Amino acid sequence: DFSWLFNQYLHSKDIPTLEVGITERGNNLSLKYRWVADLRDFQMPVEIMTRKNKLQRIYPTAKWQTLELNNMTFDDFEINDQDFFINIEYIDADEIH
């Protein structure tokens, strides 16, 4: 059932935004992320770089989720925004509750 996808992109004027907060601790990253979309049940997966040259899918929802990425720095991190029609907003991770 892909109604969440069609409803967001065909019936909403706004592109979904992936909010991301990153905390870097040495060679490790703590990633917090969620969707901000017109539809509460929007759930499109997105690919991120989880190791050098290694993409992995994450499954954001409207609720904050956390992912720990070991042996990565902020400079290594990347969100695949070439294959997904989305906005990305980096926010201060300390302000996420």
Distance (Å, whole) CA 14 – CA 9: 8
Q: What is the pLDDT of residues 69-91, one digit of tens each?
A: 998 888 889 999 898 899 999 99
Return the higher-pLDDT residue of 48 and 51.
Answer: 48
Q: What is the pTM of this model?
A: 0.89
Distance (Å, whole) CA 57 – CA 92: 23
